[in-house]
């Protein structure tokens, strides 16, 4: 790390005065969990093994179509982003991987990039392609679509870009490609709904054929936006059918914000697991649309219910169950590092709470049609404050007992302001 970083000494000096309170809380919680037959040491080890990928586009300030207000000490390029990702992992010890986006993260030497990331103790999860924006000098515009465009030349350009992303990903040690496309229409009649899907499947078959043997391709569905009448891959059903048609390396990625309000996302997760097609997640939260808010900040119970399905699948050894956990958020009004720290912790929390569900008691209540009894088994886990377990897991993994307090006390952002010339003026768009 060339610039300022939070030193080990500083971290230890901040952890030390917090240690005895943590030990007290941890012991108290361990006793209460032991009365429920739960081993807090085993739980802490499970939490220490939990990891979620940081979206490289999430460490800069996000925006909307109306405006983006760059924050102080913004990352200027990929290497600043890596520095910030390393700081997040140093404090929370829950984000050992990155999910890059191309061409936003394009650079000249990917082997060097991989080396720098390895130096930070970071590796690469799924790479994301981008055929929803036109790049300078691009031959064909994606205004009317990409993989589903009526013009073969535009489809070929989009296919080639996805294959380039695979080539880059191989240099980074990634083993998956996430394909989200904005393709759709704004008027009834503008697009032939069936032919658009046929063109998607034809294009995806070419991308699929370029996948290395040990790779997966994640199909990311989204109900709407930027298309507002029809979206080609609009829901989990279309995504599932497409993944089944493409082959075993194709799976479905669930971005929590890509559903209509009040949709039962945990059941969609259960269904995709049942069909062996759950590839992974873009975790975030939302109240209305694809709000890309911080995970667990609006609907923490829903996040817990999603992890409840994941642990249920893990426990019964569901076939082909190896979901990739990634965040996908837009930090418009917070310090992105703080939001990503807290979001990683909220995912650890939902994971730990799902692990302490008394599954035999839940199954017994379900078998007895004891509706409230079953519900209360989940509520008991969800209302258990597992914070001491999460903090102890961070501490034992070399992280911070109180990540955001210690991050603020470190003055990291202030240092970055002096190291990174201020990005002036507002722009529009998510990054």
Angle at 95 between CA 387 and CA 85, to 5 degrees: 120
Partner residues linked to 177 by β-bridges: 127, 217
Q: Which does 208 bind (CB under 5 to 8 A by kind): Mn ion, ligand LRH, none?
A: none
Among 128, 157, 297, 384, binds ligand LRH (CB under 6 A): 128
Per CB under 6 A, 120 contacts ligand LRH:
no
Helix, strand, or coil here: 198?
helix
Q: Which does 290 bind (CB under 5 to 8 A by kind): Mn ion, ligand LRH, none?
A: ligand LRH
User: Minimum distance between the CB of residue 328 and ligand LRH, rounded to whole angstroms?
Assistant: 5
Per CB under 6 A, 221 contacts ligand LRH:
no
Q: Which of residues 265-284 bind ligand LRH (CB under 6 A)?
A: 282
Choice between 47 and 295, CB closer to ligand LRH? 295
Per CB under 6 A, 14 contacts ligand LRH:
no
DSSP state of 70: P
The two structure tokens encoding residue 332: 């418009």
Q: Which of residues 180-219 bind ligand LRH (CB under 6 A)?
A: 180
Please answer whether residues 284 and 293 qualify as being in contact, where contact means their C-beta atoms are separated by less than 8 angstroms. Answer: yes
Q: Which does 286 bind (CB under 5 to 8 A by kind): ligand LRH, Mn ion, none?
A: none
Q: Which does 281 bind (CB under 5 to 8 A by kind): Mn ion, ligand LRH, none?
A: none
User: Minimum distance between the CB of residue 385 and ligand LRH, rounded to whole angstroms?
Assistant: 31
In 3D, which of 263, 275, 274 has the Cα closest to residue 302? 263
342 torsion bin: left (phi>0), alpha (psi -120 to 50), beta (else): alpha
Choice between 90 and 222, CB closer to Mn ion? 222
Pairwise CA distance, residues 128 & 120, whole Å: 21
CB under 8 Å to 356, separation ≥6 — which residues?
A: 33, 36, 38, 43, 381, 384, 386
Helix, strand, or coil here: 138?
coil
Choice between 40 and 286, CB closer to Mn ion? 286
Q: Which of residues 29-68 bind ligand LRH (CB under 6 A)?
A: 57
Contact residues for ligand LRH, defined by CB under 6 A: 57, 128, 180, 220, 222, 255, 282, 290, 328
């Amino acid at each position: 790390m060339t610039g300022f970083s939070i030193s080990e000494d500083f971290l230890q000096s901040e952890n030390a005065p917090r240690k005895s309170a943590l030990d007290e809380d941890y012991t108290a919680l361990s006793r209460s969990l032991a009365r429920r037959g739960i081993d807090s040491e085993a739980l802490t080890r499970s939490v220490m093994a939990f990891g979620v990928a940081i979206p490289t586009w999430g460490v800069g300030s996000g925006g909307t179509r109306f405006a983006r207000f760059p924050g102080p000490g913004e990352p200027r390029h990929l290497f600043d982003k890596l520095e910030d990702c390393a700081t997040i992992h140093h404090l929370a010890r829950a984000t050992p991987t990155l999910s890059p986006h191309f061409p936003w993260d394009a650079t000249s030497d990917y082997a060097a990039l991989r080396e720098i990331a390895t130096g930070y103790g970071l590796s690469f999860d799924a790479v994301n392609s981008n055929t929803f924006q036109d790049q300078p000098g691009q031959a064909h515009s994606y205004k009317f679509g990409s993989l589903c465009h009526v013009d073969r030349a535009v489809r070929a350009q989009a296919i080639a870009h996805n294959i380039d992303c695979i080539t880059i990903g191989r240099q980074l040690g990634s083993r998956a490609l996430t394909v989200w496309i904005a393709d759709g229409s704004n008027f009834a009649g503008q697009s032939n709904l069936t032919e658009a899907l046929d063109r998607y499947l034809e294009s995806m078959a070419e991308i699929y054929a370029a996948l290395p043997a040990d790779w997966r391709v994640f199909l990311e569905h989204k109900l709407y936006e930027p298309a507002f009448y029809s979206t080609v891959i609009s829901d989990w059903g279309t995504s599932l059918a497409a993944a089944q048609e493409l082959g075993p390396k194709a799976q479905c990625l669930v971005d929590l914000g890509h559903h209509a309000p009040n949709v039962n996302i945990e059941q969609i997760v259960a269904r995709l697991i049942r069909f062996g097609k759950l590839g992974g997640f873009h975790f975030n939260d939302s109240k209305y649309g694809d709000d890309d808010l911080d995970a667990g900040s609006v609907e923490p119970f829903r996040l817990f219910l999603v992890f409840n399905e994941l642990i249920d699948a893990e426990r019964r050894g569901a076939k082909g169950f190896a979901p990739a956990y990634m965040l996908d958020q837009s930090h418009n009004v917070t310090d992105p590092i703080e939001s990503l720290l807290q979001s990683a912790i909220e995912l650890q929390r939902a994971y730990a709470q799902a692990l302490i569900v008394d599954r035999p008691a839940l199954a017994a209540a379900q078998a007895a049609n004891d509706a409230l009894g079953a519900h209360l088994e989940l509520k008991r886990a969800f209302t258990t404050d597992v914070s001491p377990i999460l903090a102890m897991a961070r501490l034992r993994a070399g992280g911070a007992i109180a990540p955001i307090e210690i991050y603020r006390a470190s003055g990291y952002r202030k240092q970055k302001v002096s190291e990174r010339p201020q990005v002036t003026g507002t722009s529009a768009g998510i990054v």
